[in-house]
């Protein structure tokens, strides 16, 4: 297949999966999918190889889904499927490592022959169990476990599956509504793919898939081969549950392959922050691609040169039936661990560690307007780590890519009131390039009834470290008023009515010596409110006159010399 033809077909194929994702988001019943974009969408060939993904989505979803198609085809071989079949699972060991993440796969038929698959994975608002918390001790406590099975058979719903789902979740309308949105998204992709095949006179996408996969693999191997061989190590510490978790990372570059090994990392814990190996692989391969080949398409071919290993006795290869509901509180830190290992070999291509782990909040209670029970989930982000040549992004979700949900949406869909939402001054780690700022959110729940607060939060004790001479970002904090109410992170907690909760999200680490940051840039930070006068002097050696807000050049020069 010549380069020009391949380029035309590739761009059309990407537009098809983007239509799939757009249809899913437009029809979604929840702000998790519609606003935050906690989903993935992709197209697969008859052999189950992912060949293209939508431009939206999270690495934990899309890269896990890329490996899960093999499990679907093991259970339902391609020639056993019929038009109108739809498959489903949320098995954490086969997909995205959490019961809330439901994967729906639809085979595409041209006549009587399956010519490919569309798959998507979305975070369900609720899946029963304890909700979004890490206090479970086994996966059985975390909600409804759906093995690989049929959701639709020959165009007809498998009603008992839908009935079981509705009976086991707190918000059946939203959960089943999003499930049907997932089916619709795949159907739109299938329709577009059939039109694509017809337009270009193709019987299927197998030859196109071979070309895309082979070229992506060759490009990835060429990028790796250009790097010097060697082994690079790094260790990263996060809060964990009862004790800190240590992520030991060893990245080995050998020829045109990369191996990432997590031997030596902390062992599994009897709480819901364990990570399955497919999720570990998903975020590790994402970190490698960001550093080595961000422009190469993310598909079966680009995964092949990268091997990820973690012994079963580590938290990064949790064995059934380990609790995994808060797996992102460890898994989201893996790209930073990879970057730390590659910092000396690729200093111009990596980020400093950031807040990394999303702050997930779920509140259960009674709606004062209707008297009915409600539950609402939203995600928030701290600061990203500094880049090699730029400051880190503030209040931005890296590596997950999840968008923040606007306050107006939260208040419209729930009795939660956000009284303030602002960036946290001095929370970005000092450096020649400063870490991104965290954010602060102050909220209450309307009504005179108590409510249940459940949060999955990290970096309250262990800040994001700096890189290459940069300093750590600020830790996060969870505050209440009255302060007699204590809400521990990672647990469900009953909270009295009228309690005000403030979430202070952590900042990202800095890169490079802070004393080499230009004084004029520090002054601009002060003008913007990102850095205080005290921090300008203490961290950057820049003395700013509090009355004129100008740099005292003589004092700054003396302080930096000292």
Half-sphere exposure of 428 (CA within 13 A, CB side): 34
Of residues 380, 317, 320, the one with CA closest to residue 506: 380
- The answer to whether the bond into 198 is cis (omega within 30° of 0) is no
Q: State the CB neighbour count (10 A cutoff) for residue 552.
A: 16
Residues with Cβ within 8 Å of residue 114, at least 6 apart in sequence: 46, 78, 79, 81, 107, 108
User: From CA 273, how far away is CA 268, in angstroms rounded?
Assistant: 9
Per-residue pLDDT of the chain (562 residues; tens, 9 = 90+): 788 899 999 999 999 999 999 999 999 999 999 999 899 999 999 999 999 999 888 999 999 998 899 999 999 999 999 999 999 999 999 999 999 999 999 999 999 999 999 999 999 999 999 988 899 999 999 999 999 999 999 999 999 999 999 999 999 999 999 999 999 999 999 999 999 999 999 999 999 999 999 999 999 999 999 999 999 999 999 999 999 999 999 999 999 999 999 999 999 999 999 999 999 999 999 999 999 999 999 999 999 999 999 999 899 999 999 999 999 999 999 999 999 999 989 999 999 999 999 999 999 999 999 999 999 999 999 999 999 999 999 999 999 999 989 999 999 999 999 999 999 999 999 999 999 999 999 999 999 999 999 999 999 999 999 999 999 999 999 999 999 999 999 999 999 999 999 999 999 999 999 999 999 999 999 999 999 999 999 999 999 999 999 999 999 999 999 8
Strand ranges, E, within 111-221: 113-123, 149-153, 156-157
Collapsing DSSP to helix, strand or coil, 39 comes out as strand
Rounded distance, CA 473 to CA 491, Å?
25
**pTM score, whole prediction:** 0.95
Give dist(CA 182, CA 266) in Å, integer. Answer: 36
Separation between Cα atoms, residue 10 and residue 263, nearest integer Å: 39
- 70-85 in b/e form (b: 16+ CB < 10 A) is ebbbeebebeebeeeb
Structure tokens at 354: 């950031």
Residue with tokens 């009953």: 494
Residue given tokens 């830190």 in the structure block: 333
pLDDT score of 3? 87
**Local structure of 228: helix, strand or coil:** coil
CB 95 within 8 A of CB 148: no
Q: Do 466 and 510 meet the contact criterion of CB atoms below 8 Å apart?
A: yes
Residue 158 CA to residue 85 CA, distance in Å, equals 10
Helix or strand (DSSP H, E) at 102? strand 101-110
Q: What are the residue boundaries of the structural domains of the chain, listed by start?
A: 3-217, 351-517, 519-562
Q: How far is CA 163 from CA 28, 154, 157, in A?
A: 20, 19, 11
DSSP letters, 133-163, are: -S--SSGGGGS----SEEEEETTEE-HHHHH
DSSP string, 297-364: --SHHHHTTEEEE--TTSGGGPPTT---TTTHHHHTTHHHHHHHHHTTTSTTS-PPP-S-S-EEEEEE
Query: 294 CB contacts (<8 Å, ≥6 apart)?
Result: none
């Amino acid at each position: 297949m010549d380069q020009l033809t391949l380029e035309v077909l590739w761009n059309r194929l990407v537009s098809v999966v983007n239509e799939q994702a757009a249809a899913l988001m437009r029809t979604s019943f929840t702000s998790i999918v519609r606003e935050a974009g906690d989903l993935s969408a992709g197209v697969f060939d008859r052999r189950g190889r992912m060949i293209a993904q939508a431009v939206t989505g999270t690495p934990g979803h899309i890269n896990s889904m890329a490996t899960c198609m093999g499990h679907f085809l093991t259970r339902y071989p391609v020639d056993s499927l019929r038009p109108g079949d739809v498959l489903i699972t949320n098995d954490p060991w086969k997909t995205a490592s959490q019961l809330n993440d439901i994967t729906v796969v639809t085979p595409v038929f041209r006549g009587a022959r399956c010519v490919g698959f569309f798959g998507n994975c979305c975070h369900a608002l609720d899946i029963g169990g304890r909700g979004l918390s890490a206090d479970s001790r086994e996966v059985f406590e975390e909600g409804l476990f759906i093995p690989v099975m049929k959701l639709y058979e020959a165009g007809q719903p498998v009603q008992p599956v839908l009935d079981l789902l509705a009976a086991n979740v707190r918000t059946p309308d939203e959960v089943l509504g999003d499930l049907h949105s997932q089916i619709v998204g795949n159907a739109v992709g299938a329709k577009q793919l059939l039109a694509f095949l017809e337009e270009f006179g193709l019987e299927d996408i197998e030859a196109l898939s071979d070309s895309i996969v082979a070229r992506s693999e060759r490009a990835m191997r060429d990028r790796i081969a250009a790097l010097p061989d060697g082994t690079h190590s790094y260790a990263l510490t996060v809060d964990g549950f009862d004790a800190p978790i240590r992520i030991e990372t060893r990245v080995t570059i050998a020829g045109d392959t990369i191996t990432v090994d997590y031997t030596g990392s902390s062992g599994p814990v009897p709480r819901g922050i364990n990570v399955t190996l497919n999720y570990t692989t998903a975020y590790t391969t994402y970190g490698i691609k960001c550093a080595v080949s961000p422009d190469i398409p993310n598909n079966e071919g680009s995964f092949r040169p990268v091997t990820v290993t973690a012994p079963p006795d580590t938290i990064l290869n949790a064995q059934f039936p380990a609790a995994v509901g808060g797996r992102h509180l460890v898994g989201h830190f893996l790209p930073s661990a990879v970057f730390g290992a590659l910092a000396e070999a690729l200093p111009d291509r990596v980020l400093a560690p950031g807040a990394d782990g999303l702050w997930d909040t779920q509140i259960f209670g009674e709606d004062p307007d209707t008297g009915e029970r409600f539950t609402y989930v939203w995600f928030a982000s701290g600061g990203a780590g500094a880049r090699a040549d730029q400051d880190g992004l503030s209040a931005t979700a890296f590596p997950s890519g999840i968008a923040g949900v606007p306050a107006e949406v939260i208040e419209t869909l729930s009795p939660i009131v956000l009284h303030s939402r602002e960036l946290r001054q001095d929370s970005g780690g000092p450096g020649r390039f400063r870490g991104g700022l965290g954010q602060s959110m102050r909220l209450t729940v309307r009504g005179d009834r108590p409510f249940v607060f459940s949060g999955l939060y990290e970096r309250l004790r262990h800040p994001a470290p700096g890189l290459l001479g940069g300093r750590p970002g600020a830790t996060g904090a969870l505050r209440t008023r009255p302060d007699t109410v204590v809400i521990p992170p990672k647990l469900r907690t009953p909270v009295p009515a009228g309690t005000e909760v403030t979430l202070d999200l952590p900042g990202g680490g800095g890169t490079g010596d802070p004393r080499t940051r230009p004084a004029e840039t520090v002054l601009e930070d002060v003008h913007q409110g990102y850095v205080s006068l005290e921090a300008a002097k203490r961290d950057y050696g820049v003395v700013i006159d509090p009355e004129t807000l100008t740099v005292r050049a003589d004092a700054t020069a003396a302080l930096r010399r000292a």
